[in-house]
Amino acid sequence: MCGIIAYTGNKDAVTVVLECLKKLEYRGYDSWGIAAVTGDSISQVKRVGKIGEVGISQVKEAIKSENHTAIAHTRWATHGGVTQQNAHPHLDCTGTIAVVHNGIVDNHDELKGGLAGHRFISQTDTEIIPHLIETLAKRMEFGRAAVEAAKMLNGRSAFVAIDSKSGMLIAVRKGSPLIVGVNGAGAGEFFVGSDVMAFLDYTNKVMYLDDGECVVTDGSGTAPKFFALDTGKELQKRVVDIHWHRGSAEKEGYDHFFIKEIMEQKHTIAAAINQDDDKIMAVADAIRNAFGTFLVGCGTAGKVCMTGEYLFSRIANKHINSVIASEFANYQHYLTPRTLMIPISQSGETADVLEAIEVAKSKNSRVISLLNVFGSTMMRASDDFFMVNAGAEMAVVSTKATTAQLAVLTLLAYAAAGELQEGKFLLMNTAGSVNDMLNPRYEEHIRNLAVSLAGKKDILIIGRGLNYPIALEAAIKLQEACCIPAQGFAGGELKHGPLALVEEGTPCIAIVANDETKNDMLGSVMEVKARGGYIIGISPQSHSSFDYWLKVPDAGNASPIVNIIPVQILAYHIAILRGLNPDYPRNLAKSVTVK
Ligand code: F6R
């Protein structure tokens, strides 16, 4: 949450950070701001709203001159409402130190108490940082003051501070992500971003900044220096080339990333299963041999984990556990060095998952992550990783990364059953069916349904077996994109409570797979229908109880992949009809880097 970018180099810094910041918008889009070193002072611009359509001329109205050092921020509010004053960067009293920050300063009230006489103009926790540095810098040089200030902060944080008097820039990592980009062999241009996506258009050469470290540059083009925060010891870092084809981060003619990424599933499922057989077999062996395997994720990735539990039971006859990352610490008593944890995350930056990894590591359990973003914090925190190859996912609502994760887990389950080739065959056929499914007529058929659902106050979704977690995932899509309080249930649970929600015309999406759950699912459908529910059947076959049929291919054990796609399209069109921007759901951000 919140995106940070900093640049120092020979280009116009404001132009560079503006371009980079647009690549980070999915991390937060309440408000944005840019500050640049202009002579011996700092000029800045801050605005409420999204950075997306802002042009350089608008920024240059506020920051007129060419600058070689600048920082920028796109915000997802934690402390303090969405106002121009609360937008970052924040300045000290002298206006010579500016800070952008991602994270939460848990002890900001206490620290503020020690800053009597300072002028605060925002309600943010961040604003104490430049003032702390200002105070400390009266007795020591700026870089040292920033380090000492960082040590005083409790909670997960990452910040970049610039000082117009010394021309220095310092980036500190204490629990929230930051990565350094350099141009050439470590000298010349220097970037710091919340993730590599921010500056990948400028350089693919990175130096990893780990937790408890800082990096300093004096803006003169000499190589940046890395230090340990606690000891002050200088650290030697390697320049690493990132060879990652993240795919296009542009809309390419589509109105929104959301629909573009839905359509990209024509290719991404095939890309997901394009894995190294030896690696897949090694992970499958690790699962087979582990004394307990935990799939761990949040939100949509959490529902993928849950689906994984069903897939392994069904295909590999193997019990594995799925746990929501924020609950994982409660399972620590079951963890041993023989436990295997498989975190699943699109961004690779989710704070709850990172904390879960720390819990697993504290018990010496093995961690193999399933990721979509190369170079992410999770990749480096894990013993091993493998990628789902979905390419950059820009819409906050996850679509193509979800089906790619489902495809890889299905493949893994087949591998664990000793049937890797059968799994590949099934998934290649499924990828082909998805390609056929995603045609304009299908989308129009779903859009027509969206017209009748756009005004509804709630939507129920039911599924069983493999498709019970998909009913839960479908509910997340409708909640976040459409702001409809949709709820997913296991079909069998209806009579234990949720049936009370059904009244005349209540829409109920029923996921009826062609498997052993089919008859029971149709029984659940009849229960809803008998009470006036309007049934939308997602199924390979039509049924007389369906009021509206969304046909899907009969994909066997890959049914979760094909069954979620019509709901993704439905959520997109309902969002549009309700006047919502489906790329930027209310109150959410893509990379959830706070607990
Ligand atoms: C929903 C969605 C979120 C994420 C969750 C975990 O569409 O995108 O629920 O799935 O925040 O994010 P990652 O996968 O980045 O760990």
Q: Is the CB of 347 under 6 A from ligand 1?
A: yes
- Of 1, 195, 298, the residue with max ligand 1 atoms within 8 A of its CB, to mutate for a pocket test, comes to 298
Q: Is the alpha carbon torsion for 140, 119, 95, 79 positive or negative?
A: positive
pLDDT given for residue 62 in this prediction: 87
- What number of H helices and E strands is found in the chain? 17, 25
DSSP tag of 499: G
Q: Is the CB of 410 under 6 A from ligand 1?
A: no
Contact status, residue 47 vs residue 35, Cβ threshold 8 Å? no
Q: Give per-residue pLDDT as tens, 298-313.
A: 999 999 999 999 999 9
Residue type present at position 78: T
Q: Is the CB of 146 under 6 A from ligand 1?
A: no
With CA atoms as reference, report the closest residue to 396 among 12, 18, 25: 25
Q: What is the phi-psi region of residue 580: left when phi exceeds 0, alpha when psi lies from -120 to 50, beta otherwise?
A: beta
Mean pLDDT of the chain: 95
Q: Give per-residue pLDDT as tens, 237-279.
A: 999 998 877 777 778 899 999 999 999 999 999 999 999 999 9
Instruction: Report the first-to-last Cα separation within the chain, whole angstroms.
Output: 10
Q: Is the CB of 293 under 6 A from ligand 1?
A: no
Domains defined along the chain, listed by start: 3-243 (3.60.20.10), 249-437 (3.40.50.10490), 439-595 (3.40.50.10490)
pLDDT given for residue 64 in this prediction: 80
Mean pLDDT, residues 16-38 taken together = 92
Residues in contact with 503: Cβ distance below 8 Å, sequence separation at least 6, in sequence order? 531, 532
Mean pLDDT, residues 386-404 taken together = 95
Q: Is the CB of 350 under 6 A from ligand 1?
A: yes
Q: How far is the CA of 590 from the centre of ligand 1 (A)?
A: 7
Residues annotated catalytic, as ranges: 2, 590
Pick the residue whose CA is nearest to atom 5 on ligand 1.
299
Mean pLDDT, residues 568-584 taken together = 97
Q: Is the CB of 405 under 6 A from ligand 1?
A: no
pLDDT given for residue 513 in this prediction: 98
Between strands 205-208 and 179-182, the pairing is antiparallel
With CA atoms as reference, report the closest residue to 310 among 446, 467, 487, 459: 467
pTM to 2 decimals? 0.90
pLDDT given for residue 52 in this prediction: 84
Mean pLDDT, residues 511-536 taken together = 97
pLDDT given for residue 39 in this prediction: 86
Q: Give per-residue pLDDT as tens, 448-506.
A: 999 999 999 999 999 999 999 999 999 999 999 999 999 999 999 999 999 999 999 99
Q: How far is the CA of 15 from the centre of ligand 1 (A)?
A: 31
- Please identify which residue in the block is written with the tokens 């109150």: 587
d(CA 540, CA 403): 18
Q: Is the CB of 476 under 6 A from ligand 1?
A: yes
Instruction: Reply yes or no on whether the pLDDT at 580 is more than 90.
Output: yes
Strand order in the sheet with 487-490: 487-490, 460-463, 507-511, 534-539, 548-551
Between strands 366-371 and 340-345, the pairing is parallel
Confidence category of residue 184, pLDDT binned at 50, 70, 90: low
Instruction: Reply yes or no on whether the pLDDT at 186 is more than 50.
Output: no
Between strands 3-8 and 213-217, the pairing is unpaired
- Of 258, 306, 328, 350, the residue with max ligand 1 atoms within 8 A of its CB, to mutate for a pocket test, comes to 350
- The minimum-distance atom of ligand 1 relative to the CA of 346 is 14
Instruction: Reply yes or no on whether the pLDDT at 595 is more than 80.
Output: no
3-state SS class at 74: strand
Q: How far is the CA of 266 from the centre of ligand 1 (A)?
A: 21
Contact status, residue 355 vs residue 362, Cβ threshold 8 Å? no
- The minimum-distance atom of ligand 1 relative to the CA of 297 is 16
Instruction: Reply yes or no on whether the pLDDT at 172 is more than 70.
Output: yes
Instruction: Reply yes or no on whether the pLDDT at 219 is more than 80.
Output: no
pLDDT given for residue 187 in this prediction: 53
- Counting residues of the chain whose pLDDT is more than 90, the rounded percentage is 87
